[in-house]
Amino acid sequence: MSLYKIQAKDVCLFYHQEQALFNVNLNIEANQVTALIGPSGCGKSTFLRSLNRLNELIEGTTTTGEVLIDGVNIYDNDTDVVKLRKEVGMVFQKPSAFPMSIYDNVAYGPRIHGITKKNTLDEIVERSLRQANLWEEAKDRLTSSGLRMSGGQQQRLVIARVLSVNPKVILMDEPASALDPISTAKLEDLISELKKEYTIVIVTHNMQQAARVSDSTAFFLSGHLIEYQPTERLFVNPGDKRTEDYITGRFG
Amino acid sequence: MKAYGNLKEKFIYMFIWLGAAFVAFTLLTIIAYVFVKGIGTISWEFITAIPSRMGKEGGISSAIVGTIYLTVVALLISTPLGIGSAVYLTEYQKRNSRFSRAVEMSAEALSGIPSIIFGLFGFIFFVIFLGLGWSILSGGLTLAIMILPTIMRTTQEALRAVPEEFRSNSLALGASKWQTISKIVLPSSAPGIVTGVILSIGRSVGETAAILLTAGSALGMPLLPTDPARSMSVHLYYLAAEGISMERAYGTALLLIVMILIINYLANLSLRRFTYRLKS
């Protein structure tokens, strides 16, 4: 067994004839925040989605190569995708609470996975909301609709919903891009807390954010992984000219 | 230049205001007219008694029951079919696949067919060919075909309005496709689906031509689905067309309008309660 939580080996992704990822090799350590950066269309989100096989929902995509999570290839034929997606949770760009109560939003995951006991659900809901730093704001209004919350609260609600099914890895696809600065700060604090228990991979357009929250950063360009370094080194002393050009704002 | 622009703005504003006012005025005039002409006929007996002497005397209770009976049968058949096909086309088929385009085009064409043609088809197919006779069943089936496209199309629109993020979030939590549809997509689109069903109820309740040829014009109280019946609109048609009694025609019309208003009100109420639950 390796030290790495996630190992991507020669991951290629094709959308019909078009290739979107070229032999990406990336090892991600447990209990770390790994940031994926790069200009729009560079493949960073696509790579993120290959870690829970979400690309499969788009017609016409083929993935080759291996992604090992805890040493097990998730692209094996006998992989249980439901179990995989439970273990690898995902937070999307647009905060989207389901149109139901705050409680039901968080209980949704456990319920579809067969938990029906009220006590157990109550515990899971409270624990997940506490972990997502939302309990204090939500505890008196658990029965009111999740849609009534602000964008920042909804995004933390989404995180609570992801935490409710006990993931090992949390993927975040530009989770703060629709949030105001204060909500973003709260979200970043939360990410730093969550990494104690979870492995987090985050796609971001905001380089300051990558610098603030992540331990390692991977720079993507045109479907290729260009550089992967501890965040500080990548930002202070990039090893590749293209990385330097990007982080100094020469393109992107 | 500015004065001219303002004048133009005002003129256009006036014009669209008049348009809106005209709509309200027309509706209110019709309701008021029918109300004034029909209110004298309305009595407890008119609502609860079976018509006698072809409708000249007695009440219209059997027509009221017939109308409800026919509508319920039509809804029982077309609601699951319409919602089911919409879910299939929207959630399981690619948006522009040849099959879904074919189904959508058929639905569109179907909704443009005059109702008398549905009546004729129902008469030949259900009444004669399947041997169901003039009955609630034949009439309900004919109505069901007629309102199916409305339910299907409005459900499709409602499903398409559900944000894509709901689906991807649910799937990313490990939910299956059907769990996602039944627990997230359908509940979120319920207000739109209910609206489609209400529109269909309105159409069924008011429909005359399709029923005239399929449910018959029996005056008795329908009990079994195989019994013939007349709806309120058919009753109204006979009363007026054959000069049996204009007062009673207006009385029937008034009850019909009241019934439709009540249905709309109840539906709005349930809709509002539903959206209230979602939003607050």
Domain ranges of chain B: 1-38, 44-279
Is B270 buried (19+), middle (13-18) or exposed (0-12) by CB count in 10 A? middle
Nearest CA among B245, B205, B264, B247 for reference residue B39? B247
Average pLDDT, 10 consecutive residues per value, chain A (252 residues): 82 92 94 94 93 89 93 92 92 92 95 93 96 93 92 94 95 92 92 94 92 94 94 92 88 62
Q: Please tell me whether residue B94 adopts helix, strand or coil conformation.
A: coil
Residues of chain A positioned with their CB less than 8 A from the CB of B158: none
Residue B184 C-alpha, separation from nearest chain A C-alpha, in angstroms: 7
Choose among B174, B179, B280: nearest Cβ to A148: B280
pLDDT confidence of residue A1: 45
The CA distance from A86 to the nearest CA of chain B, in Å, is 5
Considering only alpha carbons, which residue of chain A is nearest residue B277? A145
pLDDT in the model for residue A249: 82
Global pTM? 0.82
Work out the angle at residue B255's Cα, subtended by the Cα atoms of residues B144 and B252, and round it to the nearest 5 degrees. 90
* Interface contact B173, partner A, CB < 8 A: yes
Identify the band that residue B273 occupies on the pLDDT scale cut at 50, 70 and 90.
low
Cβ within 8 Å, pair A99-B165: no
DSSP classification of residue B18: H
Q: Name the amino acid, one letter, at B136.
A: I
- Residue bearing tokens 């204009």: B246
- Among B173, B278, B279, the residue with its CB nearest the CB of A112 is B173
Q: Which of A57, A56, A54, A35 is nearest to A44 (CA)?
A: A35
Looking at chain B, the whole-number percentage of residues with pLDDT higher than 70 is 95
Given this model, what pLDDT does residue B4 score? 63
Q: What is the mean pLDDT of residues B179-189?
A: 93
Give the pLDDT band of residue B220 (cuts 50, 70, 90). Answer: confident
Distances (CA, A) of A249 to A34, A39, B89: 21, 10, 46
For testing contact with chain B, the best of A108, A144, A148, A154 (most B CBs within 10 A): A108
pLDDT computed for residue A49 by the predictor: 94
Mean pLDDT, residues B207-220 taken together: 90
Alpha-carbon distance of B57 to B112, in angstroms, equals 38
State the complex-level ipTM.
0.88
User: With contacts defined as CB-CB under 8 Å, which chain B residues touch A96?
Assistant: 163, 165-166, 169
* Inter-residue contact B134 to B127 (CB < 8 Å): yes
pLDDT tens profile B11-70: 999 999 999 999 999 999 999 999 999 998 898 988 888 888 887 888 899 999 999 999
pLDDT number for residue B137: 95
Nearest-Cα distance to chain A for B194, in Å, is 17
Contact A109 B171 (CB under 8 A): no
Which range, of A64-73, B55-64, B144-153, B164-173, averages the lowest pLDDT?
B55-64
The nearest alpha carbon in chain B to A85 belongs to B174
Higher pLDDT, A219 or B244: A219
Predicted confidence at residue B274, as pLDDT, reads: 63
Q: Is residue B192 scored above 90 in pLDDT? A: no
**Residue A150: exposed, middle, or buried by beta-carbon count in 10 A (0-12, 13-18, 19+)?**
middle
Q: What is the pLDDT of residue B2?
A: 54
User: Which residues of A lie inside 8 Å of B (Cβ-Cβ)?
Assistant: 52, 54, 57, 59, 81-86, 89-90, 92, 94, 96, 98-100, 108-109, 112-113, 144-145, 147-148, 158, 161-162, 165
> In this model, does residue B244 exceed pLDDT 90?
no
| Contact B279/A at CB under 8 A | yes
Fold of B44-279: MetI-like fold (1.10.3720)
Q: Name the least confident of A24-28, B107-111, B123-127.
A: B107-111
Contact A54 B171 (CB under 8 A): yes
Give pLDDT, residue B280.
41
